[in-house]
Amino acid sequence: MRAGLKGCVLCPRQCSIDRAHSRGYCGESEKVRVARASLHMWEEPCISGASGSGTVFFSGCPLKCVFCQNRRIAMGGPGKELTTAQLSQLFLLLQRKGANNINLVTPTHFVPQIAEALRMSKAEGLAIPIVYNTSGYEQVETLRMLEGLVDIYLPDLKYYSEELSARYSNAPDYFAYASPAVAEMVRQVGVPLFDDSFSGERLMKRGVIVRHMVMPGHVRDSRKVIQYLYDTYQDRIYMSIMNQYTPPENMVDYPEISRRVTRREYQRVIDYAIELGVENAFVQEGDTAKESFIPDFDEEMYLKEVL
């Protein structure tokens, strides 16, 4: 495990930091930090279900978008250090609490430790699906460490444009890495598989759901993302087209995205997806941008039970 972090190139930043002694671009050392573990109800219906998704929110982030909704933890705020054994026990605890799955949120910079913890917990009886919930800014080589361990990939595909990804995520190469990353995810887990035999719920067991959040003023880029996904994968993946963009405070340097997406902008993107022939898609209705999708990271929930 240490070998993967000594000159860390787990994410496309490839900062080559020895995380035993320093923190990488992600803001984290070699020690796993988790900000919150809980049963989360705000994912796609086939992920959350009625019981909730067993989310593990990892501290730090390799991308750090200027509009990040989880900015407090992405920038290295809240978080408790866990050993690999404790992380393994956390997965098992969430299963006992009734989670439909284990949902690894922003996990990229801790993949070696997560893979080890998953092997340990699976040996002790972890049997629910594993969800890898990511910004999409991934190295294919890192994803290959998870082959056979992850059942559901839940990546973003945030941008098609290099200009937009450079401005809002300091990552002009975002699409150049995210597109082959999605291809690797599809290769690993295949076409979507659901199990609707339990209580009438249609829960995903395997597959890929690619999320795209429509940005204010950038309908054209959203169309390009959706066209790319549909042209490349047709019905081999699901899309989740979101309208929940909420600008954080102090966006004076980014006035063009300092507002919410209008209903008309979002509807134009949905209409375009329908015109293309997209059928496997989740959409958001109503004023979801007015709802809070941000957990209370001051409330650690089940995390304290394994410390």
Q: What is the per-residue pLDDT for 129?
A: 98
DSSP element (H, E) containing 111: helix 111-123
* 40 falls within a domain: yes
* 92 falls within a domain: yes
* 301 falls within a domain: yes
CB 25 within 8 A of CB 62: yes
Q: What is the per-residue pLDDT for 39?
A: 94
* 21 falls within a domain: no
* 4 falls within a domain: no
Q: What is the count of structural domains for the chain?
A: 1
CB 92 within 8 A of CB 99: no
Residue 64, amino acid = K
Cα separation, 203 vs 88, in Å, equals 23
pTM exceeds cut of 0.85 = yes
Q: What is the per-residue pLDDT for 290?
A: 52
Cα separation, 71 vs 154, in Å, equals 19
pLDDT mean by block of 10 residues, the chain; 307 residues: 74 96 94 94 93 95 92 77 97 97 98 98 98 98 98 98 98 98 98 79 95 98 98 97 92 95 97 97 75 54 76
* 105 falls within a domain: yes
Q: What is the per-residue pLDDT for 4?
A: 64
CB 92 within 8 A of CB 305: no
Q: What is the per-residue pLDDT for 71?
A: 75
Q: What is the per-residue pLDDT for 287?
A: 63
DSSP element (H, E) containing 204: strand 203-213
Find the CATH number of the domain harbouring 104. Answer: 3.20.20.70
Domain extent, residue 236, equals 32-306
CB 147 within 8 A of CB 184: no
* 297 falls within a domain: yes
